[in-house]
Structure 1
Amino acid sequence: MLAGHYTAALVAYQKFPKGTLLYFLIASQLQDLLWFMLHFLGLEYTGPNDVFDTTLSNMTVDMLYSHDLLPQILWLVIIFLVGKAVFMSNKIGIAGVLIVASHFILDIFSGHPHHIFGAETQNIALGLYATNVYLAIAIEIVFCIVMLWYFFKQDAENGVQRTSKNKAAIIGLFAFGIIFMLSIATTSFRELLGIPEFDLGFNSNVPTLVFTYAAMIVYLNYFLPKFVVDKKG
């Protein structure tokens, strides 16, 4: 999943406002953020190198340390300890653990192949990005709809009345994520738009992904806490 993981952070922040939204957003994408870092360290190579050649179905990823099953134990312990130390709360640490665990579980159904520990061990994910990318996207769409519906429903029950503009800003991010995934599901931007080969240093795959993830985190961290009472609503 791309955008869908963030919805877990929204619900966690709603339940535990003592924790910062930024903590929950980072927890929701911890494995992917680790993947990017490990790629730059030469430990988890990602291809194709050029983002304009990339599709969800042709992306090759080595997620040994960030996404395979056994390393999850370490990431769960770390996110719990960070939550407990920063917020002085076991509940927030546990919420972080559940979010990180949800990322792993959701990727089993909508994502790249994951193994117990290494490609030579048992594959424990469906790997739908490679085998049935549109089904993977459909799963993410359903998950986003259900989670956003629950989030806004709980907002209403808690007396939080967001403006229509604020709701649209939040929903729009997830709509963008889905549209972006559909646009590169099986056809690259180079093939779709006839983009010529070039290398200006900003069209690499992983740096572009880093920018996209960071922009989404900043966007949600800005818009989610900002609401005013909509008297017309």
Structure 2
Amino acid sequence: MILGHYATALLPYSRFKKYPFWVLLLCANIPEFLWLFLALVGVEATQPESLLDASFQNLQVQMTFSHNLIPSFLQGIAVAGVVFAFFKDRSFALWCGFLTILHVICDLIVGFEHQIWGEDSPVVSLNSYLNFPHAAIFFEFFFSIACILWFVRTEKQSGAPISKQKLVGLLAIFSIGVLMWLPAATIPLRKILSLF
């Protein structure tokens, strides 16, 4: 998933409005930021090297430390600990840790190949970006919409219904943000850009 991870931050947001929303967004994307850092330093390097030459189907990466199952639980525990140290709220810290773990759980369905621990351990993902990239993007789209609808429902139940304008904005951001990746599922970005 790409943008769908940001949508997961909406799940606990109604309960924790006294805390900055960006903390939930950050925690929901820790594995991605870790992967980008590790890719830059060559630990989890991607092939092809240029993202312009990549499509979802031809991008190859071993995400041993950032996206494999056991490291995700370790990241979640670390994130919960750090958040608890700063905010002193056990529920908020547990949600932040869970969002970090949920990132990888979502990627097991919509994402690249992930293992339990290392390259030689059993594969636990569908590797949907390789096997059925367009369907994976549509699944992420529907997942994002479900997260938004969950947020709308919880806001209404808490007596703070969101406006139609805000709902339309959220739906537009996630619809465009997710579905714009459909061409890149199988066509490298360089080729897509050359069409314009």
- The TM-score normalised by the length of structure 1 is 0.78
| CA–CA distance in structure 1, aligned partners of residues 190 and 79 of structure 2 | 38
**Residue equivalent to 1:29:** 29
**Residue equivalent to 1:65:** 65
**Residue equivalent to 2:117:** 117
**Residue equivalent to 1:92:** 92
Between 41-50 and 162-171, report the one with greater CA deviation.
Answer: 162-171
| CA–CA distance in structure 1, aligned partners of residues 182 and 63 of structure 2 | 23
**Residue equivalent to 2:131:** 131
Q: Which amino acid aligns with 2:72?
A: Q
Q: Secondary structure at the match of 1:70?
A: helix
What is the CA deviation profile of residues 85-124 of structure 1, one whole-angstrom value per residue up to 9, with x for unaligned ones? 1111111111112211211111111100001222211111
What is the number of residues matched between the two proteins? 196
Does the 8 Å CA contact 2:141/2:179 hold for their aligned counterparts?
A: no
Deviation at 1:189, TM superposition (A): 2.9
Q: Which amino acid aligns with 2:160?
A: V
Counting only pairs closer than 5 Å after superposition, residues 141-220 of structure 1 correspond to structure 2 as 141-194=141-194
Deviation at 1:161, TM superposition (A): 3.8
Which 5+ residue runs of structure 1 have no aligned equivalent?
A: 196-233
Deviation at 1:193, TM superposition (A): 4.1
Counting only pairs closer than 5 Å after superposition, residues 48-63 of structure 1 correspond to structure 2 as 48-63=48-63
Does the 8 Å CA contact 1:56/1:129 hold for their aligned counterparts?
A: yes
Does the 8 Å CA contact 1:13/1:20 hold for their aligned counterparts?
A: no
Does the 8 Å CA contact 2:73/2:101 hold for their aligned counterparts?
A: no
Deviation at 1:2, TM superposition (A): 0.7
Q: Secondary structure at the match of 1:103?
A: helix
| CA–CA distance in structure 2, aligned partners of residues 182 and 126 of structure 1 | 18
Deviation at 1:128, TM superposition (A): 0.6
Q: Which amino acid aligns with 1:94?
A: L
**Residue equivalent to 1:106:** 106
| CA–CA distance in structure 2, aligned partners of residues 171 and 185 of structure 1 | 21
**Residue equivalent to 1:79:** 79
Instruction: State whether structure 2 residue 16 is matched by structure 1 residue 16.
Output: yes
Deviation at 1:46, TM superposition (A): 1.6
Deviation at 1:50, TM superposition (A): 2.3
What is the CA deviation profile of residues 200-227 of structure 1, one whole-angstrom value per residue up to 9, with x for unaligned ones? xxxxxxxxxxxxxxxxxxxxxxxxxxxx
Which structure has the greater CA radius of gyration?
1
| CA–CA distance in structure 2, aligned partners of residues 102 and 152 of structure 1 | 20
| CA–CA distance in structure 2, aligned partners of residues 169 and 145 of structure 1 | 12
Q: Which amino acid aligns with 1:133?
A: P
Does the 8 Å CA contact 1:18/1:87 hold for their aligned counterparts?
A: no
Q: Which amino acid aligns with 1:79?
A: V
Deviation at 1:192, TM superposition (A): 3.0
Does the 8 Å CA contact 1:9/1:24 hold for their aligned counterparts?
A: yes
What is the CA deviation profile of residues 46-84 of structure 1, one whole-angstrom value per residue up to 9, with x for unaligned ones? 232223222111111120100112212320121111221
**Residue equivalent to 1:205:** none
Percent identity between the two aligned chains: 27
